[in-house]
């Protein structure tokens, strides 16, 4: 018997994670991890991030090898509820394989009733999770990235699936942390139809500490945010706090660029972009959109309808900046007035493109901060195909990842990795205070030699005056 699990499959989870896989990826769970409804699961002693993931489990009913997606679904004899438990504290050394963090005894509860697949629509299932009676996950299989038949067919290209094998099909948004004393329930059903019943797991505290050999539990705020579902849910301070935002609002992009260069980030500026409206200032958190060069067949498959560009703009949240990779090609528009209005209505902090803006006067009137390489009257189909949302991109020569911090002014835009934000913002504020003091000394008639930058004597005088003012 094999248990094969899929990493990402639900659009809601993809949006939460900030990355969208092009193909399914998998990991194995040992048969010894299987548990039944009503069993307990231990949160290992010394860990804090035991997370549940309600899922639809597929039960393979016959041997399959190299089958089509249609035949893949036909090979599934039943579906039931599953809970793909994991301990984020143990991800550091095997995050890809997930063996230690998801393979523990009791970490794969299944059941309690198997729903036969005869006459069942694989896109018509619902999965829900409750923690202590409160619903935390509620989604359907209607728009999975990788439908069930595709998963079976894909796996069967290299692996013989046998009767009794289990395929866990991914979890929707809402997965979070459970602790000792919590009861977690998962149900898979057809609304107003057959149900797996509730799969019940009780969480208890482990009593045996980890031995001194092997990797020890380790967590950081990134793991906490991923386990809980967000930084806010984990009780963490937001990366772009009100205090840091206020600091950033008082410093120039040029100063931030200088501070990043000091720390080994000389390519932090998005080159070639300028504000559509002079005097614009922008601060926000990155979301990303990538265009590829126009090709007729790709534009036919990806350019029309509710494409990646429209999805990106429709999903923006307050304070986010959409950064567009257009390969530096400003010979066709990448954003126009309607999409800019949509971003503004949703509370977005701005749009950055290393391509062009069309309807530039109308876009400027909307009041949304927009930074672009230029303007052009043509629609994007002349040069671009909307391709991918929330991936790592290159815009104006700078790498941008979802979650990076963007700051823009008349000099351009700088990209700040989140882990450097606090340090860089405070250093930039201090540098600007020092620069203002130096400028005042120059205005008094002092030569710049030894003053800009200040030598030891001038620096001592600056620090003395600063202390006296505080």
Q: Is 295 annotated as a binding residue?
A: no
Q: Is 337 annotated as a binding residue?
A: yes
Is-contact 139 164, C-beta < 8 A? no
> Token pair for residue 321?
């900046």
Angle 434-439-441 (CA atoms, 0-180°, nearest 5)? 95
CA 162 to chain centroid, in Å, comes to 35
> Token pair for residue 331?
């010979």
Q: Where are the alpha helices (DSSP H) in 236-347?
A: 242-249, 253-262, 296-302, 308-314, 337-345
Q: Is 339 annotated as a binding residue?
A: yes
- Give the N- to C-terminal CA distance of the chain in Å, as an integer: 70
DSSP letter at 177?
A: B
Q: How many CA atoms lie within 13 A of 109 on its CB side?
A: 29
Q: Is 49 annotated as a binding residue?
A: no
Q: Is 297 annotated as a binding residue?
A: no
Q: Is 445 annotated as a binding residue?
A: no
In whole angstroms, what is the distance from residue 343 CA to residue 64 CA?
Answer: 47
Counting Cβ atoms within 10 Å, is residue 272 exposed (0-12), middle (13-18) or buried (19+)?
Answer: middle
3-state secondary structure of 323: strand
Place of tokens 């289990």: 166
The Cα-based distances of 396 to 220, 273, 384, 419 in angstroms read 32, 7, 16, 22
In whole angstroms, what is the distance from residue 384 CA to residue 362 CA?
Answer: 22
- Backbone conformation region of residue 63, classed left if phi is above 0, alpha if psi is from -120 to 50, else beta: beta
Q: Omega before 112 cis (within 30°)?
A: yes
In whole angstroms, what is the distance from residue 240 CA to residue 351 CA?
Answer: 18
Q: Identify the CA nearest to 355 among candidates 333, 336, 377.
A: 333
Question: Helix crossing, 421-443 with 242-249: angle to 10°?
Answer: 30
Q: Where are the alpha helices (DSSP H) in 324-368?
A: 337-345, 360-366
In whole angstroms, what is the distance from residue 455 CA to residue 435 CA?
Answer: 13
In whole angstroms, what is the distance from residue 444 CA to residue 195 CA?
Answer: 81
Place of tokens 């560009």: 309
Is-contact 113 195, C-beta < 8 A? yes
Place of tokens 């600007």: 432
Known binding residues for Mg(2+): 359
Known binding residues for substrate: 336-339, 358
Known binding residues: 336-339, 358-359
């Amino acid at each position: 018997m094999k248990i094969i699990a899929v990493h990402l499959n639900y659009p809601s989870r993809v949006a939460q994670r900030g990355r969208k896989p092009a193909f399914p990826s998998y990991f194995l769970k040992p048969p010894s991890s299987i548990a039944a409804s009503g069993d307990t699961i231990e949160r290992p002693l010394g860990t804090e991030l035991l997370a549940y993931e309600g899922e639809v489990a597929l039960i393979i009913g016959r041997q399959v090898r190299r089958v089509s997606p249609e035949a893949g679904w036909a090979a599934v004899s039943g579906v039931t509820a599953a809970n793909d438990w994991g301990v984020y504290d143990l991800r550091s050394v095997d995050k890809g394989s997930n063996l230690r963090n998801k393979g523990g005894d009791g970490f794969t509860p299944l059941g309690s009733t198997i729903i036969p697949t005869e006459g069942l629509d694989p896109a018509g299932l619902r999965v829900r999770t409750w923690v202590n009676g409160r619903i935390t996950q509620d989604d359907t299989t209607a728009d999975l990235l990788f439908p069930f038949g595709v998963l079976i067919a894909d796996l069967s290209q290299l692996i013989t699936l046998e009767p009794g094998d289990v395929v866990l099909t991914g979890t929707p948004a809402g997965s979070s942390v459970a602790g000792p004393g919590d009861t977690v329930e998962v149900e898979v059903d057809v609304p107003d139809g057959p149900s797996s019943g509730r799969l019940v797991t009780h969480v208890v505290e482990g009593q045996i500490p980890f031995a001194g050999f092997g990797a020890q539990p380790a967590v950081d705020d990134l793991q906490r945010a991923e386990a809980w579902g967000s930084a806010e849910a984990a009780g963490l301070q937001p990366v772009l706090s009100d205090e840091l935002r206020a600091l950033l609002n008082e410093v120039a992009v040029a100063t931030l660029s200088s501070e990043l260069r000091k720390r080994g980030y000389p390519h932090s500026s998005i080159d070639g972009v300028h504000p559509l409206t002079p005097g614009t200032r922008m601060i926000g958190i990155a979301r990303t959109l990538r265009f590829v060069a126009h090709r007729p067949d790709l534009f036919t498959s990806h350019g029309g309808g509710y494409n990646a560009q429209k999805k990106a703009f429709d999903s923006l949240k307050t304070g986010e900046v959409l950064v567009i990779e257009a390969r530096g090609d400003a010979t066709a528009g990448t954003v126009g007035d309607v999409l800019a209005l949509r971003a503004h209505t949703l509370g977005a902090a701005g749009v950055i493109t290393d391509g062009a803006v069309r309807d530039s006067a109308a876009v400027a009137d909307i009041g949304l901060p927009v930074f672009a390489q230029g303007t052009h009257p043509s629609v994007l189909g002349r040069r671009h195909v909307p391709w991918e949302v929330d991936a790592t991109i290159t815009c104006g020569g700078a790498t941008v990842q979802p979650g990076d911090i963007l700051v823009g002014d008349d000099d351009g835009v700088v990209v700040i990795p989140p882990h450097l934000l606090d340090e860089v913002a405070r250093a930039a504020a201090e540098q600007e205070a020092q620069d203002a003091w130096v400028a005042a000394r120059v205005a008094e008639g002092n030569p710049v030699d030894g003053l800009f930058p200040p030598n030891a004597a001038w620096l001592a005088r600056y620090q003395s005056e600063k202390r006296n003012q505080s």
